[in-house]
């Protein structure tokens, strides 16, 4: 399996035996939205996954879920998801990085 294929399978929740799929992720999300009283139609999978990925790559692996949680809190207080993504991108741009090429 190619590296991109492996990445997609991890993203989609597929284990080595192929036991899960992107449908499982969507079903899980739909059930959680229903239980939390959230309109699933307003959930933007690509945006949320991209924000988590950017936080993990910029700061540290645990930054992904923490970032998404904090952005959810900000959205609950009135910030739009697009505004939150813009603020996250601005933080990512100014965050110090280690240059491993040295």
pTM for the whole structure: 0.66
pLDDT for 99 beyond 90: no
pLDDT at 96: 78
pLDDT at 78: 96
Every domain of the chain and the residues it spans: 1-40, 44-102
pLDDT at 7: 45
Following DSSP, what letter does each residue of the chain receive, concatenated?
--HHHHHHHHHHT--TT----HHHHHHHHHHHHHHHT--GGG--HHHHHHHHHHHHHHT-TTHHHHHHHHHHHHHHTT--HHHHHHHHHHHHHHS----TT-
pLDDT tens column, 15-68: 545 566 768 888 999 999 999 898 998 888 888 999 999 999 999 889 999 999
């Amino acid at each position: 399996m190619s590296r991109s294929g492996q990445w997609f399978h991890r993203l989609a929740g597929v284990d080595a035996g192929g036991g899960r799929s992107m449908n499982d992720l969507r079903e899980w999300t739909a059930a959680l939205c229903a239980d939390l009283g959230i309109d699933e139609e307003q959930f933007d999978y690509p945006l949320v996954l991209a924000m988590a990925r950017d936080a993990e790559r910029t700061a540290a692996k645990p930054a992904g879920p923490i970032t998404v949680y904090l952005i959810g809190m900000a959205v609950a207080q009135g910030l739009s998801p697009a505004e939150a993504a813009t603020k996250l991108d601005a933080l990512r741009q100014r965050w110090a990085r280690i240059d491993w090429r040295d």
